[in-house]
Amino acid sequence: MNNIEKEILAKPDIVEYYGKDYELLTILPFLYPYYRVEMKCIVREFSSLPLADEYLLKAVEKWIDDVEQLKHFMGLEDVVFDDIFANLHFQGLIQKNPVLHLTEAGKETLTTLEKSKCIFEEEYTFIDGVTGKIRKRKIFPSRERVTEKIKPLIKYPRTENLGSFYTVEENITLYKALFDSLKNFFSKDNKDKKKSGNKKELLEITEILNQAIKINKKIWLLFFRDDEQGDDRILVLEDDLQINSDMTEFINEQEGKGTKVISLSKPKNENISQKSQINRQKIETANDIDKLPNGTTISTYKHPIVLEKILKEATSQIIINSPWITQQVIDARFKSHLENALKRQVHVTIIYGFGGSKTGKSDIDQKTEKYFSQLKKQYKEYFFIKETKGNHAKVIICDEKFMVVTSFNWLSFKGDKSRPLRTEYGTILKNKEEIAKMRQRLESI
């Protein structure tokens, strides 16, 4: 084990990122692609209106409609007045016909006390070659020799590609991505220049200059595997060993969809980490859950398995407490298992409702609410649904055998491995007195 591996393994937030179900296989340096893109842009530059310009515009706005009268009022040397007047007229802020007056642009300039001019300017930015995110902060290329490389998903940026789709989702053009990002950068710069300096507004990108430069930045990839679930995942660390969550989620998501960015089938390195001592029994039936020791911790992707096994095999009562309910979980498969449980005369109680949404969005979608109403009519002796307020608990009880208390939202989060990882943990509890107390608490809410 080298010094970098030792330093990485000394960071608990890194090693425990995927929890105890995932074994760390190996740590490898990779080169991550960026593109440095230079653009020719048309920019409107704003600067503070000089005091003389302000007085001249105000005089025209208030009462003076003759050039000679204005010159006399300003009291400036002829050459100075002629230069200021000609400049304001050229910018379209004042007009002489039919009489001297301010244009709409002149009125707006007087309101903002800023004047503007259009200029050509060269700008540059960096495009993430995988996620497509655009950043202004400079990327420094790696000078180390690294053999493994991340595959770019973004097309090489050229002027002829400005109108082409930009990301793997094909929902935005390269032009729009660059324009929106540069406009945002300008906006941030303008805030910094609020008290001093000229502000700028991006009007148009006319072309990509020269040839985009590909830059490879060094990162570290940690390869994890859950043997029980047959699931491989990676964790991305920057060169300073800080976790890059956005990059991690994007790469895992693309790999889950079948878009190959890297190879996740790396050889296992027993020197990196020992196998976790957590109970790795497969959950095939509800009885398997019952056989697990009291206090066993289950991770994100075991929750959907537990939910399904309970619905399929409970014999007397199921209680599910989940703050929110969505169709993502209440799909055809869930409905089939639920209805079969009711046909077996299992009493099923669903408790939901947090009621804390500022947007006024319901804690249950309309289609599911309608479906549950139909079930209540059909199985009125066995199916119960209860809405609460401020209830953020996530609990499921199976008969008198066990309960799972967890952070996992049973009825609103499916635990889909193709989506970005969301770490959740639950605990299986088997103390009958505690189960009875929890049942009583939930039923009395």
Structure tokens belonging to residue 271:
């020197």
Residue 276 scores a pLDDT above 50:
no
Burial class (CB in 10 A: 0-12, 13-18, 19+), 393: middle
Average pLDDT, the chain: 84
Q: What is the DSSP letter of 296?
A: -
Identity of the highest mean pLDDT range in 15-29, 130-144, 202-216, 283-297: 202-216
Residue 55 contacts residue 71 (beta carbons within 8 Å)? no
Please choose, from the candidates 276, 112, 125, 99, the residue with its C-alpha nearest in 3D space to the C-alpha of residue 189: 125
Q: Lowest mean pLDDT: which of 21-25, 179-183, 287-291?
A: 287-291
Q: Is the confidence at residue 282, as pLDDT, over 80? A: no
pLDDT at 421 > cutoff 70: no
DSSP per residue, 192-259: HTSSSS-EEEEEEEEEEEEEEEEEEEEEEEEEEEETTTTEEEEEEE-TTS-B-HHHHHHHHHHHHHT-
**For range 192-209, the mean pLDDT:** 77
Boundaries of every domain in the chain = 1-36+120-275, 50-112, 286-443
pLDDT for 275? 39
What pLDDT, on the 0 to 100 scale, is given for residue 341? 95
Query: How high is the pLDDT of residue 39?
Result: 92
CB 386 within 8 A of CB 320: no
**Alpha-carbon distance 127 to 168, whole Å?**
14
Query: Is the preceding peptide bond at 98 cis, omega within 30 degrees of 0?
Result: yes
Residue 330 CA to residue 126 CA, distance in Å, equals: 43
What percent of the chain is predicted at pLDDT more than 90?
38
Average pLDDT over residues 253-262: 78
Estimate to the nearest angstrom the gap between the alpha carbon of 130 and the chain centroid.
15
CB atoms within 10 A of CB 282: 10
* Residue 4, token pair as written in the block: 């970098």
Q: Please report, as a single letter, which amino acid is at residue 261.
A: V
- Within 10 Å of residue 143's Cβ, how many Cβ atoms? 6
Name the residue with tokens 């296992």.
268
pLDDT above 80 for 29? yes
* CATH code matching the domain that covers 286-443, chosen among 2.40.160.20, 3.30.1600.10, 3.20.20.70, 3.30.870.10: 3.30.870.10
Residue with token string 């619905």: 311
**Cβ partners under 8 Å of residue 98, min gap 6:** none
Closest CA to 237 of 430, 8, 20, 3: 8
Per DSSP bridges, beta strands 425-429 and 402-406 are: antiparallel
Assessment of whether the complete model's pTM goes beyond 0.75: no
Write down the number of H helices and E strands in the chain: 13, 14
Weakest mean pLDDT among 33-47, 131-145, 330-344, 347-361: 347-361
Span 208-220, average pLDDT:
91
Per-residue model confidence (pLDDT) at position 318 = 96
Residue 286: per-residue pLDDT: 58
Do 201 and 186 form a contact (C-beta atoms < 8 A)?
Answer: yes
Q: How far is CA 233 from the centre of its chain?
A: 19
When pLDDT is cut at 50, 70 and 90, the band that residue 323 belongs to is very high
Q: Which of 7-21, 34-48, 97-111, 182-196 bottoms out in mean pLDDT, i.e. has the lowest?
A: 182-196
pLDDT at 206 over 80: yes
- Is the pLDDT assigned to residue 269 strictly greater than 60? no
Q: What is the average per-residue pLDDT within 386-398?
A: 92
Which pLDDT score is estimated for 418? 57
- Class of the CATH-defined domain 50-112: mainly alpha
Lowest mean pLDDT among 25-34, 229-238, 350-359: 350-359
Which pLDDT score is estimated for 267? 47
pLDDT higher than threshold 80 for residue 348: yes
